[in-house]
């Protein structure tokens, strides 16, 4: 229906301009009407989406149990994203950001996600988080109750905190993140405001930027992807972001570089860049590595457990086009993924955090 509407609208517009003689003031009026319609439509969407979620949150009132459980509820918290394209959730996520530009461009931003879902099929993010939850449940045993919650998809972290605070005396929040994000800072403000003076104890495990186990996992993934026999002709591009703590990212990525260097990969064949929709940065880095005699390039995100679907789509398109143009092999590692090192680190952090006063 959407495509039929676009085709019909395009054909009607062409016919109007083809068979009607417009004066300049008429064209200006139509143009202004289109802009005004876009603005009004965006405002209506904003209030309908935001109000609908506010209404749901107001209805989700959970009655407190008389006897709450003494064992902790553990929430594995990450950004997340809907497994399949969900119009209302993605609009909510765009409108919830602080960026005014993204709010103004909300329909365009959501359309980009729609294209990404259509091309990539579905997101594995929630499925991978469920696997982490299941693994940790087996490791931690009956003394802990495991849950997953997200900033950008159901179940939302605010609702899970509200629900579980009525059933448990203690909650351990486990950020599946390298360092602080905008969503995390917003969540921390909510926790400080709503739970600081309550009788529910909320503990938060440390971020992963100091994790030696995670460093080992990322390094091993890069080496496996390159293959020992191809190390002498391999280059690596490490992706970071401007949206998270630059110091912690730098400390972590410097250690990744140091470890990769120890495995026969020279420092001038490792490039670290901040990638926030800047394709030119990656293209320049690929050309630079090719000029240094590199035949195989590995692009790896050191920032995320799992890249969101729109970043995956952009990266796959960029790699396909650039690899063909530059006649070079390019491989993409989509985040840290699940591994024994990550699971061991999370288990350790949960147990230590639970024991601390």
How far is CA 13 from each of CA 7, 21, 23, 41, 317, rounded to the nearest angstrom? 10, 13, 16, 20, 31
CA–CA distance, 215 with 354 (Å, rounded to integer): 24
What is the pTM (predicted TM-score) of this model? Answer: 0.84
Residues in contact with 243: Cβ distance below 8 Å, sequence separation at least 6, in sequence order: 181, 182, 276
The residues with which 148 forms a beta bridge, in sequence order, are 76
Confidence of residue 59 (pLDDT cuts 50, 70, 90): very low
CA distance 255 to 186: 29
Strand runs labelled E in the chain = 73-78, 145-150, 170-175, 201-204, 234-240, 270-274, 296-301, 329-333
Which of 173, 165, 213, 171 is closest to 78 using CA atoms? Answer: 173
Choice between 287 and 39, residue whose per-residue pLDDT is larger = 287
- pLDDT for 350 equals 96
pLDDT band at 24 (very low <50, low <70, confident <90, very high): low
Cβ contacts of residue 200 below 8 Å, gap of 6+? 165, 168, 169, 170, 171
Angle at 66 between CA 64 and CA 72, to 5 degrees: 75
Range among 136-145, 261-270, 320-329 rated most confident:
136-145
Cα–Cα dist 145/71, whole Å: 8
**CB-CB contact of 159 with 190 (8 Å):** no
């Amino acid at each position: 229906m959407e495509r039929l509407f676009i085709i019909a609208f395009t054909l009607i517009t062409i016919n109007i301009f083809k068979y009607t003689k417009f004066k300049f003031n008429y064209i200006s009026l139509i143009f202004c009407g289109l802009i005004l319609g876009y603005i009004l439509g965006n405002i209506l969407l904003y209030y309908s989406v935001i109000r609908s979620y506010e209404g749901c949150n107001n209805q989700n009132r959970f009655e407190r149990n008389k006897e709450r459980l003494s064992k902790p509820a553990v929430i594995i918290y990450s950004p997340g994203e809907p497994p399949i394209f969900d119009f209302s959730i993605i609009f909510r996520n765009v409108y919830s950001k602080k960026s005014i530009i993204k709010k103004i461009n909300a329909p365009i931003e959501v359309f980009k996600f729609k294209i990404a879902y259509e091309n990539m099929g579905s997101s594995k993010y929630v499925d991978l988080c469920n696997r982490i939850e299941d693994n940790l449940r087996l490791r931690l045993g009956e003394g802990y109750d495991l849950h997953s919650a997200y900033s950008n998809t159901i179940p939302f972290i605010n609702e899970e905190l509200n629900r579980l605070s009525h059933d448990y005396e203690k909650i351990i929040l486990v950020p599946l993140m390298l360092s602080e994000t905008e969503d995390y800072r917003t969540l921390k403000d909510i926790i400080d405001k709503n739970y600081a003076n309550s009788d529910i104890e909320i503990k938060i495990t440390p971020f992963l930027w100091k994790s030696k186990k995670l460093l080992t996992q990322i390094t091993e993934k890069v080496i496996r992807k390159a293959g020992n026999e191809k190390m002498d002709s391999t280059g690596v591009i490490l992706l970071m972001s401007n949206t998270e703590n630059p110091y912690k990212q730098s400390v972590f990525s410097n250690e990744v570089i140091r470890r990769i260097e120890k495995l026969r990969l020279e420092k001038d064949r490792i490039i670290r860049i901040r990638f926030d929709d800047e394709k030119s940065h990656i293209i320049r880095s690929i050309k630079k590595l090719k000029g240094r005699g590199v035949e195989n390039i590995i692009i790896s995100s050191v920032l995320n457990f799992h890249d969101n679907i729109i970043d995956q789509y952009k990266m796959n398109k960029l790699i396909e086009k650039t690899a063909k143009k530059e006649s070079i092999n390019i491989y993409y590692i989509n985040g840290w993924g699940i591994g024994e090192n990550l699971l061991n680190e999370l288990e350790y952090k949960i147990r230590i955090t639970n024991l601390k006063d």
